[in-house]
Structure 1
Amino acid sequence: MLPAFIFCLFLLTLFASADQTKPDQPTRISKQTRMDLIRGFNSELVYIRSPFPMGKKGLILKDGKLSPSGQELQQMMAMWGPAAKPGDQARISAIIIKDDRIHFEINGGPVKKQKWYQRIQVGGGGGMTQIAPNDPNANPRGSYVDLVFNHYVPELTPQELKDLLHPVFDFNAKSAVEAYLDTLPPKVQNAIKGHEVLVGMNREMVVTSKGRAPKKIREKDGDTEYEDWIYGEPPHDVDFVRFVADEVVRVEIMKVSGEKVVRTEKEVNLEQPTVAQNPAQPEVRPANAPTLRRPGEEPDSRSPASAPDGRRAPRPAAPPDLGGAGPTGPSPN
């Protein structure tokens, strides 16, 4: 009997020590904390650190990682357009705390909403009329981000929540330029602070670094269209920044001393958005495509679709020259 009692006592001691070594789980968010966070963050102005696409699909932030990101995010930006870009100022328009996430909407969110007074109607002899009619052309231009936790939303302080949202929101930036610089690589940051241009920058970076160009020249080299931005005038240094699409491909500096500095090698690599390309070849009309000709009507030889293989039909031959300058009929007396 005594050995069994000692064995049970040993098991109880073992379980108690295991409970003591088990890490404490964070407590669930309380009702008061919910109210404090919603009251403190609603209508807050923030600077954007990550691109937000328009449309009903927003961003998801979990464990410090953002999704979608990279190429997928660039495709969404190219398809639906940007709701906010890095450096833009946005307003948190709604906060919804769910089971395992906190839902933040910016600039009205992705879905058009109605105010309470827009549902009020006044009736009379002519029927019902809204006192504040809706604008059918007002499309939603906001977006959202979901801050996702494991299993449930824990107890949080406002500063802890700001730290978790740092990949997408900047609460401490004093200006849009400061917020935008914080999203760039260190090499680009130093170049912008020194008002320099690197090969590989985009237009927004050049404008942030040098300002808007006083002179712009658009030319074409073969099939490649480019644009030169010119900064400065003699007797000072003159900078020529060449763009192809949205990327700097050439930087030329004419110094006062007569020295010419040209840089064409790429100095910074940035992710470029994917845009849809127009087809280079015209679309070929299928042979069985529907036609608008009436039954029995002959095909038009001038139409490209009249050729059976989809190629343009040859032009009809010109009438023979009869040698007369005027009409062939009898001339009036």
Structure 2
Amino acid sequence: MSASASADDKNSSPLTEKHRLELIRTFSSDQVYIRTQFPMGKVGLTIKNGKVSPGGDELSKLLAMWGPSVKTGDRAIITQFVLKGDRMRLEINGGPVKKKKWYQHIEVGSGGGMMTPGGTAQDPINNPRGSYVDLVFDHHIPDLTVEQVKQMLWPVFDFDSKSPLEAYLESVSPKVKEAIKAHHVLVGMNREMVIYAKGRPGKKIREKDGEVEYEDWIYGDPPQDVDFIRVVGDEVVRVETMKVDGEKIVHTEKEIDLGGPAVATAAQKENKPANAPTLRRPGEQAPEAPANSGPSRPAPIPDPPSGPPQFQVSER
């Protein structure tokens, strides 16, 4: 029985005790490499019938709002494996909710104050940074072997790679894979791909061309070849190589398309009102100005009296 068929067949036999114990032994505290980004927060990923959700724009919004818990190529630890109802839940790096340790329930009083040994669950160091994936089936968990479950988890987990680079190369297109292996940068790559291909740059220069901000990543020093990688947003838009013999090679045409814009579009400016602000009611006409009206002038100030003030005394 194939893994895909067992996931959809409601009449398939339930998980046996033998395979349940094998799954628990294999996936508890197992090390994996990540094949797709997981969002931080209480919303993890779900796999059902081979499809991963959330994805596309919905996943991008979660990543923009909460940030990534793990990225493609990262190494993670499965810290909890739970079989319940119609799903398997695999939590990585502690999961999205921090579990409280037994010693965090203890309070010690000293000098009129109370303290918790090891810190409290609200301390920044104890904030959760993990996530999870739910492998969901129809009706119940069918009888599956370890290899069948690994095959179902392949869209998000790599159990076979020996290094982060190897895991990352398995998640990109063949053209990008060959370029990274050759330490070559293509126009259209993102920052992460450049780092995997060339490493972190020795120098970075930030400049602005009109309204567009960019970075030039510089690799190499004379008398060797020097590469200038121009990055706008998260995309390489220009690759310039200065050869030792003085030859200059420039690439600006996009060689790969990752499906995202190089820079976010700027927000449109608010239109200013055509008329000046007024306290008149809607429909009320403005008073007509005199024909010969010009700029108003202030009233003349009377001259001060030239002599001392005069007082008049009245007789009663």
Q: Same fold (TM over 0.5)?
A: yes
Q: Secondary structure at the match of 1:34?
A: helix
In the alignment, what sits opposite 1:116?
102
1:112-169: CA deviation from partner (whole Å, max 9, x where unpaired)? 2112332245689969764544142232111111001122111122122111111111
Q: Secondary structure at the match of 1:47?
A: strand
Shift of residue 40, structure 1, vs aligned partner = 2.1
Q: Does structure 1 residue 206 correspond to structure 2 residue 169?
A: no
For residue 92 of structure 1, the aligned residue among 75, 78, 92 is: 78
Q: 1:274 to 1:102 in 2, by over 3 A?
A: farther
For residue 190 of structure 1, the aligned residue among 160, 169, 178 is: 178
Q: Secondary structure at the match of 1:197?
A: coil
Q: 1:121 to 1:212 in 2, by over 3 A?
A: closer
Distance in structure 1 (CA, Å) of the matches to 2:115 and 2:219: 58
Q: Secondary structure at the match of 1:198?
A: coil
In the alignment, what sits opposite 1:246?
234
In the alignment, what sits opposite 2:15?
29
Distance in structure 2 (CA, Å) of the matches to 1:118 and 1:274: 47
Q: Which moved more, 1:185-194 or 1:158-167?
A: 158-167
> Identity of aligned pairs, percent?
58
Q: Secondary structure at the match of 1:252?
A: strand
Shift of residue 76, structure 1, vs aligned partner = 1.0
For residue 173 of structure 1, the aligned residue among 149, 157, 161 is: 161
1:106 aligned partner, one-letter code: I
Instruction: Please tell me whether the aligned partners of residues 92 and 131 of structure 2 are also in contact (alpha carbons under 8 angstroms).
Output: yes
Instruction: Please tell me whether the aligned partners of residues 38 and 69 of structure 2 are also in contact (alpha carbons under 8 angstroms).
Output: yes
Distance in structure 1 (CA, Å) of the matches to 2:218 and 2:26: 47
1:20-61: CA deviation from partner (whole Å, max 9, x where unpaired)? xxx994310123432332232111111100110011111111
Instruction: Please tell me whether the aligned partners of residues 30 and 155 of structure 1 are also in contact (alpha carbons under 8 angstroms).
Output: yes
In the alignment, what sits opposite 1:134?
120
Give aligned pairs, total: 265
Q: 1:200 to 1:129 in 2, by over 3 A?
A: closer
In the alignment, what sits opposite 1:261?
249
Shift of residue 259, structure 1, vs aligned partner = 2.5
Distance in structure 1 (CA, Å) of the matches to 2:222 and 2:109: 72
1:215-262: CA deviation from partner (whole Å, max 9, x where unpaired)? 222221111111111222333222111111111001111223332221
Distance in structure 2 (CA, Å) of the matches to 1:213 and 1:160: 42
Question: What is the root-mean-square deviation in Å for CA atoms of aligned residues?
Answer: 2.8
For residue 61 of structure 1, the aligned residue among 36, 39, 47 is: 47
Q: Which moved more, 1:222-231 or 1:24-33?
A: 24-33
In the alignment, what sits opposite 1:39?
25
Q: Does structure 1 residue 224 correspond to structure 2 residue 212?
A: yes
Shift of residue 62, structure 1, vs aligned partner = 1.3
In the alignment, what sits opposite 2:293?
none
Q: 1:123 to 1:261 in 2, by over 3 A?
A: closer
Structure 2 unmatched runs, 5+: 1-8, 279-316
Distance in structure 1 (CA, Å) of the matches to 2:34 and 2:74: 5
Q: Secondary structure at the match of 1:229?
A: strand
1:110 aligned partner, one-letter code: P
Q: Secondary structure at the match of 2:141?
A: coil
2:246 aligned partner, one-letter code: G
TM-score by length of 2: 0.75
1:231 aligned partner, one-letter code: Y
TM-score by length of 1: 0.72
1:199 aligned partner, one-letter code: V
Q: 1:283 to 1:234 in 2, by over 3 A?
A: same
Instruction: Please tell me whether the aligned partners of residues 74 and 273 of structure 1 are also in contact (alpha carbons under 8 angstroms).
Output: no
Distance in structure 2 (CA, Å) of the matches to 1:189 and 1:46: 20
